[in-house]
């Protein structure tokens, strides 16, 4: 399908239109990762966009034949009760009209397209929806969007700077701190906020002496476990999550506990 002589994909008019939509500037407004995403897509385009686009076109076509829209925008808020709210998300100012019932979680995912923040239990029991508001980790599923007026929200999409991952993100990858990945954005946001809590000297239930002068806390493994207890991981990646957080907290490289299988081992 790809014309190797020119390196240019052979696209039909519909496919060309779809590609332009994919690469449009609009998607970059969503997050700092938008730029990376666009670059990625451009690279993909240069390498073989025809394959990608024809797949997407096919899916789109299939969706239409099934009588469904590819994207259904959420219903508009009832004008009688709708509320205007403005807050910062990952340093960008956002202004939204929301139903008072809409949670911060749903506004991030459904209104702003920031789907990195995950909806797990939606009842404050799992921590998957953890984001950082005004420097504190909170549960976005139990936060109403309307209460965020003037606040500053940081989500998983806002942690990387340009093309550089946040040290906590890099450590989670290095130490294999996840399996299915669904709890991971919440785990990482929680862990990033935890670093600041330790610096501020905030105690936990396992802190030995609450009366000791508050100062930066050196987190033991037990301290990290206790302070991360609001983030559940059903895959059970806890030991590796602990390793990742410990490394970032201590600021010292430590070897990961896993390794790729060697050729010798595969031969056995």
Partner 1 sequence: MRPFKYSTSSDARSATQLLEVNPNAQFLAGGTNILDLMKEDVERPDELVDITRLSLTGVQTITTGTNKGGVSIGSLRTNTETASHPLIRQQFPLLSQAILAGASQQIRNMATNGGNLNQRTRCPYFYEVSMPCNKRAPGSGCGAFQGINRMHAIFGWSEKCIAVHPSDMCVALAALDAVVKVRNVAGQERVISFTDYHRLPGNTPEKDNTLNHGELVTAIEIPPNPFAARSYYLKVRDRASYAFALVSVAAALQTEGTAIKQARIALGGVAHKPWRATEAEQFLAGKPATEDSFRQAAELAMKGAKPFEHNAYKVELGKRAIVHALMKTV
Contact call for residue 169 and partner 1 (CB under 8 A): no
- 212 phi/psi in degrees, rounded to 5: -65, 150
Contact call for residue 167 and partner 1 (CB under 8 A): no
Nearer to partner 1, 110 or 176 (CB): 110
In this structure, are residues 191 and 217 in contact, taking their beta carbons and an 8 Å threshold? Answer: no
Contact call for residue 101 and partner 1 (CB under 8 A): yes
Residues in contact with partner 1, counted by CB under 8 A, come to a total of 41
Closest approach, Cβ 87 to partner 1, in A, equals: 14
Q: Which of 177, 227, 245, 249 binds partner 1 (CB under 8 A)?
A: 227
In this structure, are residues 87 and 134 in contact, taking their beta carbons and an 8 Å threshold? Answer: no
Nearer to partner 1, 22 or 194 (CB): 194
Nearer to partner 1, 15 or 99 (CB): 99
| 14: helix, strand or coil | helix
Q: Which of 54, 154, 169, 204 binds partner 1 (CB under 8 A)?
A: 204
And the tokens for 74?
């959420």
Binding positions for partner 1, 17-56, rule CB under 8 A: none
Q: Which of 31, 54, 90, 103 binds partner 1 (CB under 8 A)?
A: 103
Contact call for residue 119 and partner 1 (CB under 8 A): no
Closest approach, Cβ 73 to partner 1, in A, equals: 20
| Alpha-helix runs per DSSP H in 28-85 | 33-65
Closest approach, Cβ 24 to partner 1, in A, equals: 35
Contact call for residue 216 and partner 1 (CB under 8 A): no
Distance CA 55, CA 22 (A): 13
- 183 phi/psi in degrees, rounded to 5: -85, -10
The DSSP code for 21 is H
Spatial CB neighbours of 16, under 8 Å, sequence gap ≥ 6: none
Q: Which of 38, 119, 225, 246 binds partner 1 (CB under 8 A)?
A: 225
Contact call for residue 194 and partner 1 (CB under 8 A): yes
Spatial CB neighbours of 158, under 8 Å, sequence gap ≥ 6: 31, 32, 89, 90, 91
Q: Which of 13, 208, 210, 267 binds partner 1 (CB under 8 A)?
A: 210
Residues in the chain: 268
Distance CA 181, CA 216 (A): 31
Task: Give bridge partners of residue 152 from the DSSP assignment.
Answer: 88
Binding site for partner 1 (CB under 8 A): 78, 81, 83, 99-101, 103, 122-124, 127, 130, 136-139, 142-144, 146-147, 190, 193-194, 197, 200-205, 207, 210-211, 214, 225-227, 229-231
């Amino acid at each position: 399908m790809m014309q190797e002589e020119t390196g240019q994909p052979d696209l039909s008019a519909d496919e060309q239109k779809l590609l332009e939509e994919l690469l449009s500037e609009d998607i970059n407004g969503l997050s700092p990762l938008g730029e990376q995403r666009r670059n990625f897509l451009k690279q993909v385009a240069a390498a073989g966009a025809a394959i990608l686009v024809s797949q997407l076109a096919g899916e789109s076509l299939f969706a239409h034949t099934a009588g469904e829209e590819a994207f259904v925008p959420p219903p508009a808020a009832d004008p009688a009760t709708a509320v205007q709210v403005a807050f910062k998300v990952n340093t960008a100012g956002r202004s939204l009209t929301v139903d008072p019932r809409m949670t911060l979680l749903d506004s991030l995912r459904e209104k702003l397209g920031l789907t990195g923040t995950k909806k797990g239990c939606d009842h404050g029991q799992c921590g998957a929806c953890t984001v950082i508001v005004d420097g504190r980790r909170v549960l976005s599923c139990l936060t109403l969007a309307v209460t965020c007026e003037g606040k500053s929200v940081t989500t998983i999409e806002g942690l990387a700077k340009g093309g550089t991952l946040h040290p906590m993100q890099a450590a989670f990858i290095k130490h294999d701190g996840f399996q299915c990945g669904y709890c991971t954005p919440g785990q990482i946001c929680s862990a990033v906020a935890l670093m600041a809590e330790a610096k501020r000297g905030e105690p936990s239930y396992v802190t030995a002496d609450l009366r000791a002068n508050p100062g930066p806390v050196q987190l033991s493994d037990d301290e990290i476990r206790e302070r991360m207890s609001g983030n559940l991981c059903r895959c059970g990646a806890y030991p590796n999550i602990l390793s990742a957080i410990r490394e970032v907290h201590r600021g010292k490289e430590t070897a990961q506990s896993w390794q790729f299988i060697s050729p010798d081992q595969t031969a056995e």
